[in-house]
Structure 1
Amino acid sequence: MVGRDRCESHGRQAGLVAFHAHPDNEALVTGGTLARVAAEGHRVVLAAATDGEAGAASALGCARVVRFGLPDSGWNRTERPASGTFSQLAVADAAAPLIELLREEQADALTIYDPAGGYGHPDHQQIHAPGVQAARAAGTRLVLEATIDRKAIQRLVRVVEAIPGVLPDVHASDYAAAYSPPEAITHRIDVRPYADAKRRAFAAHASQATADQGARTLALLLKLPPWLFRRALGQEWFVEHGRRPDRPLDDVFATLR
């Protein structure tokens, strides 16, 4: 496989496809990693399942942005998403455009979400199974679930809670069952040197769609002073399929080297 040869040759370019539900999620959970991988000379392709603007991609160094244009399911805890929206598609149907993209890119690696979809948005939950199926069908051997260390985010939210008026609607208790427990984490990526790029990506999305829930989250996080933004958002976490959790790695391509 050409993509595998690229990665296994030390120092040569690898290809990573980041599969996200909405066109702001890449900034929130993988923005620093994408910026770091791109800065290290690798090819990064951003794929968004649902439609929307993707102006943050240039801040992160992405070589290509692909939007599959599938209908957003919305976020309502009490109502089932409408038929035909992304979260309601059969796994094979949701995976089909991603399979085509992975084959076209001859991708070495794919990022998806954890099975819970982080905090439970139905479109985020839908990313997992189609992503796994697409990687298997396309022969993409490295699959990384983008997630957050549950305990780490609770600690950081407590710091934010202590600053009056910064993020008044965010509480550590909201994350008691969200994302992944620390013992499941295989990668903890240091993205502090790329905090400025991540912040620029946040700003791009927040300025594009102020009525969107994700954009509101980005706008709120942009209120953090730079030192706290870097501290709160200076690490990103992944769970690699097939790797036994041990000491978390700081190299997303470690398995391929």
Structure 2
Amino acid sequence: MRAFRTVVMGLIAGLLAWQAIVLLLEPPRYMLPAPWEVCRTLVAQSGRLARESLVTFTEVALGLILGVATGAVTGLTAVAFPRFGAILWPQVLILQAMPVFALAPLLVLWFGFGLASKVVMAALIIFFPVASAFADGLRRTDPELLDATAMTEASHFQALRHVRIPLAMPALVSGLRVAAPLAPLGAVIGEWVGASGGLGFLMIQANARMQTDLLFAALAILAALTLSLRALVDQIAPRLSPWAFEDQPPPFLKRPPLSRTSTG
């Protein structure tokens, strides 16, 4: 609740500063419309904005699922199979070194102007923070815990499942916090390069026609989507790793209750 109040207060302060700039500097409407003009456009163009938003939301949702799944599996595979990981991880780093934005035209060429290229673009932006954070969390397991696990004659994969993965979940959550708000960026960049719908496509059209109020309206929706994704991650984080947020140990450290034996 406190974080929500902070966001609302920051939003109000930003709108007041924006209105003050418009009143004091009086910039041309096509350069900087007033906040109330953007609000009016949000209402007047609500149907069109809703249609284009649905396209972008679909791309973001599918890209988020694909990016998180492939990132987590890649990070887990690199640690679970060290020899294969020694080959796989350098390839991931090479791909990460390439500017993702520069790959957008190539993705449109490969996957077309439809949904697929935008989903892949969003997934790529999400993939790297998730894979890096999860792999790093798996590798940073306390060696003493691994030694204690080895004393129980647990196999490599048993230790991975019951010790390393639970302890790496907070790192995965951190990766999600970084990655999730970036998903709309990937989808919009893909729409800028080539699309027939979506908020990015709408922004290109509005810019060409100097409809700055419509451009700002699309930006406002994207900002709301980004904040919603961050809030969603904050909501599911305690379920993914409750021991990182509450005073309770990870599952493998929980002791079963002592059984009582009757005497006499």
Range class of TM-score, shorter chain: under 0.3
Which has a greater percent of strand? 1
Which has a greater percent of helix? 2
Larger Rg: 2
Q: TM-score, normalised by structure 1?
A: 0.25
Q: TM-score, normalised by structure 2?
A: 0.24
